[in-house]
Structure 1
């Protein structure tokens, strides 16, 4: 891990109108992957609008790797069903952190990332300077599924001794 740049804390906030995979509901959980790292949230029983508010922390050594988010429906007696997936890159986020932001007021919008065919954003996402840190909230539209969105928040954690950006 010599190339460690720092840690990316992803707060998986909530799922919105997720697909139904059991009778009339689902037991969703989220899996976040970057390279060989794989983290997951707890299962929310019988809830197509789950609120996780869980922090998952990835070690970032290659900022070009996409971050993949997959939502699954937990099943007790069979393989968990996929409930859609989304992918995003952190280039804009890391680029925003390269600026000297100490002069800017709290809540300053550094960059706006519009939804496009290249990303899974369902609406514009703002990268914001707040409380001395760069953060980004985003709502991702899930692919390969009939419906559903997931709300995330990104925060960077600098590590003592890491290469930094």
Structure 2
């Protein structure tokens, strides 16, 4: 089953910034598909592109149960390839006491466009561990 998360709508902006936190429960480290749509009032919303990204390197870093690393330590690096949507090299780091990965994703099925995202692991009390 595919879970959909939605951000708020940014109106009248060709370079929108959402700067929102979305929480996703991860049962399996499957690739994640991100879809970007515009919002139309009187017609169907138009798909503006999509991107897939692999959370496996991020999840492997989380499973290491690291601690007491210097802030900003690079745990692993993910390079752009023909099979991922990375626009540039991405690092999984230890930042402010948690595993973090920043990514710039090149949108597919569109003339041009990029989306910047950041993953960070949050332990939820009572949730089953990895």
TM-score, length basis structure 2: 0.94
Residue 100 of structure 1 and its aligned partner are, at CA, apart by: 4.2
Q: Does 1:121 align with 2:86?
A: yes
Match of 1:160 in 2: 125
Deviations 1:12-63 (A, max 9, x none): xxxxxxxxxxxxxxxxxxxxxxx43111111111212111001111111122
- Partners of 2:28 and 2:63 in 1: CA distance: 16
Is the strand fraction higher in 1 or 2? 1
Match of 2:41 in 1: 76
Q: Does 1:45 align with 2:11?
A: yes
Q: Which runs of 5 or more residues in structure 1 are unaligned? A: 1-34
- Partners of 1:57 and 1:154 in 2: CA distance: 10
- Partners of 1:47 and 1:110 in 2: CA distance: 36
- Partners of 2:68 and 2:18 in 1: CA distance: 34
TM-score, length basis structure 1: 0.75
Q: How many residues align?
A: 130
Once superposed, what is the RMSD of the aligned Cα atoms?
A: 1.2
Highest RCO, 1 vs 2 (Cα 8 Å, sep ≥ 6): 1
Q: Which of 24, 29, 35 is residue 58 of structure 1 equivalent to?
A: 24
**Regions of 4+ moved over 4 Å:** none
Q: Which runs of 5 or more residues in structure 2 are unaligned? A: none
